[in-house]
Amino acid sequence: MDILISNQSNQPIYEQIYHQIQRQILEGSLSAGTEMPSIRALAKDLQVSVITTKKAYELLTSEGYIETVKAKGSYVAQIDREFIKDKGLTEIKKKIKELVLEAKRYDIQPSEFLELVKKEVEE
């Protein structure tokens, strides 16, 4: 597994694992049906507690990214891209709204905010 963990980050380790696996599934580098490493193997690999990888897998399962077959293992699920993207759009739109508001409080006007985003995106 291609996963990097940062102990300094404020982000919980299980979320870091979740996000990086989610990313690989969405990008297609992990395709449907692929067998995932076992919770224990991954924990050993990443030098984290089994509890932590278990939590990450539970999150991935509940969000529909992987499927777990008892006593066999976990497999990448067939994901519904439309559904995922829809959920993502709603989420991202909400966050953009919030960020625009926060920027205003710092006297950063929407037009200025848009410029910042353009700069970031063009890089």
Partner DNA sequence: GTGGTCTAGACCACC
Partner DNA sequence: GTGGTCTAGACCACG
Question: How near is the Cβ of 96 to its own copies at its closest, in Å?
Answer: 5
The length of the chain in residues reads 123
- Work out whether 68 is an interface residue with DNA (CB under 7 A): yes
Count interface residues toward DNA (CB under 7 A): 25
- Work out whether 84 is an interface residue with its own copies (CB under 8 A): yes
Q: What DSSP line would sit under 83-104, residue for residue?
A: HHHHHHHHHHHHHHHHHHHHHH
Contacts of DNA in 37-66 (CB under 7 A): 38-41, 48-52, 54-55, 57-58
- Work out whether 14 is an interface residue with DNA (CB under 7 A): yes
In 3-state terms, what secondary structure has residue 17? helix
CA distance 100 to 73: 44
Closest CA to 63 of 35, 83, 33: 83
DSSP-derived secondary structure letter, 80:
-
- Work out whether 12 is an interface residue with DNA (CB under 7 A): yes
Partner from DNA, its own copies, none contacting 27, C-beta within 5 to 8 A by type: its own copies
- Determine how many CB atoms are found less than 10 A away from the CB of residue 70: 5
Partner from DNA, its own copies, none contacting 67, C-beta within 5 to 8 A by type: its own copies
- Interface positions with DNA (CB under 7 A): 12-15, 36, 38-41, 48-52, 54-55, 57-58, 68-74
